[in-house]
Amino acid sequence: MSSSKLRHHEKTYDVVVVGGGPGGLPAAIAAARGGARTLLVEATAALGGAAASGLGVLGFLDRQGNRALGGFAQEFMDRLAAVGGAIGHFPCPVHNSISPVSPDMVKIVAVQMCREAGVDILFNNSMMDAEVVDGTVQAITVFGKLTTTRIQARTFIDGTGDGDLAFAAGARFESGQEGTGEMQPSTLMFTVTGHDLDKFFTYLDDNPAAMGIKEDYAAGYNVDFLRKHRGHCFIGLTDLVAQAQADGDFTIPRNQFITISTPSDRHLAINTSRLTRIDSSDPIELSDGLERGYLQVLELLQFMRTYVPGFESAELSQIAPALGVRETRHFVGDYRLTFEDVDTKAAEHDAVALSGYNIDIHSGTGDGIELEVVDEAFGIPYGCLVPQGVDGLLLSGRTISVDSRVFASARVMGTCMAIGEAAGTAAALALRHNTSVREVDVPTLQAQLVERGAILPQSALQTA
């Protein structure tokens, strides 16, 4: 006789979204708003994913300054702003735009919006398994607090970042970048307080070479820009980092220091820890990355206090609830968007989201960042959300089917929100029309998204 104390629950929904980050949260809310009984399963104790770490949201403006995002993404920012958790979109010569958000307000507003839309949330539960019958996902099992819960649904949406649900369902994927399999590094984000930005800017006045992105890539990216734009991302201090490395005080494989504004003047997010040569979809490597990440946070705090003018009294104010993972699995969808397609606009007419950010690849083995301008926002076709060979499942957020260069642009949080809204809206449409998500009529989906304020390319609007 088994002495197991393991409990078991059974549930049934129309739509189940796994992962409550920028890809999963809008998917759940859009599905519920479309009339689907929706469950959002989240492994941690907070919604928001990487948006709950102090990072600013990228993707609202493209290189030309044109709006690339509306719909849920803008609504979420408006809701955050109403409670002091966002302060608007700031243009940026490096990042096109940056929209600072409060990591804790993200967690709260996400719950508020789920409740208003009627989304049920299951926190502290992780994917365990998926049941696939004749190529269609029928049910998943999740685990939390000595309890397994088997959930049947008509449509499942993978918002786990790593694609744990699609992986469990047997969907095809590639790991990391084409050819090398190298994955962009992971980072443990944290925020500090007690710093003196005026003193820091005065140091930059006296040391203009400390601005890490040069004018030929980003005209106007100088200390005056940082002063004038309350929301900004500073990248630089190459010399101070080199000096600390020479002194044995900086062992992180990184040649620059990065700060990001939050909506609070008193809190600054630090995006400088770096875990290279790590596959964060593997639990052992993820755990090891976290261990090293915590130690890097301390090293960075000491670096700031010792080497960086204006940060002598910096104190730790928050460590992100999870390791920030840039890249792991890329799934293969009915359509795989390549950068050549972006150039030729081959798939724009099927677009359900716009990507307005540049190519931004953090080296997974070295210490640098590769940046390349993308001139204007490009469309992400619906087929990138539909995993090849598996029915009843949609991909959202950074799991979608794109090549490494497209990924390096489309992975940002604003774009992930637009993708998520498209996935959730498609799931609700499939339910209403009694079709599978693979068969959703793309012009009808595009029309609904536009009605909700989403921004799509002109060629997509002609079919919508």
Interface positions with ligand FAD (CB under 6 A):
18-24, 41-44, 49-50, 55-59, 126-127, 159-162, 164, 187, 189, 271, 322, 324-326, 397-398, 411-414, 416
Cβ atoms of 256 and 410 within 8 Å: the answer is no
Smallest separation, CB 349 to ligand FAD (Å): 25
Question: Minimal distance in Å, beta carbon 168 to ligand FAD?
Answer: 9
DSSP string for residues in 282-314: SHHHHHHHHHHHHHHHHHHHHHHHHHSTT-TT-
Taking the complex as a whole, how short is the minimal distance between the CB of residue 176 and ligand FAD, in angstroms? 14
Q: Dig out the tokens for 365 from the structure.
A: 């083995």
Min dist CB 441 to ligand FAD, Å, is 26
Q: What value, to the nearest 5°, has the Cα angle with vertex 181 and ends 175 and 185?
A: 85
DSSP tag of 385: G
Shortest Cβ 253–ligand FAD spacing (Å): 14
Distance of CA 357 to the CA centre of its chain: 13
Q: Which is nearer to ligand FAD, 91 or 309 (CB)?
A: 91
Beta strand pairing status for 15-18 and 38-41? parallel
The closest alpha carbon to 161, from 294, 331, 381, 14, belongs to 331
Shortest distance, CB of residue 443 to ligand FAD, whole angstroms? Answer: 26
Amino acid letter, 365: T
Name the DSSP class of 433.
T
For ligand FAD, give the closer residue by CB, 47 or 430: 47
Spatial neighbors of 134 by CB under 8 A, at least 6 apart, are: none
Decide whether 336 or 349 has the Cβ nearer to ligand FAD. Answer: 336
Q: Which residue has the tokens 């393991």?
A: 6
- Dump the DSSP string for 82-119: HTTSB---EEETTTEEEB-B-HHHHHHHHHHHHHHHT-
In which element (H, E) is residue 443 found? helix 442-451
Give the residue among 195, 203, 457 at the shortest CA–CA distance from 337. Answer: 457
Between 254 and 398, name the residue whose CB sits nearer to ligand FAD: 398
55: which DSSP letter?
P
DSSP state, residue 436: -
* Residue closer to ligand FAD (CB basis): 301 or 461: 301
* Of residues 62 and 164, the one with the C-beta less far from ligand FAD: 164
CB-based contact 137:352 (threshold 8 Å): no
Instruction: Identify which of residues 44 and 358 has a Cβ nearer to ligand FAD in the complex.
Output: 44
| Residue placing its CB nearer to ligand FAD in the complex, 19 or 103 | 19
Least CB distance to ligand FAD at residue 321 (A): 8
**Of 185, 177, 322, 175, the residue nearest 253 (C-alpha):** 185
Q: In angstroms, what is the minimal distance from the CB of 128 to ligand FAD?
A: 9
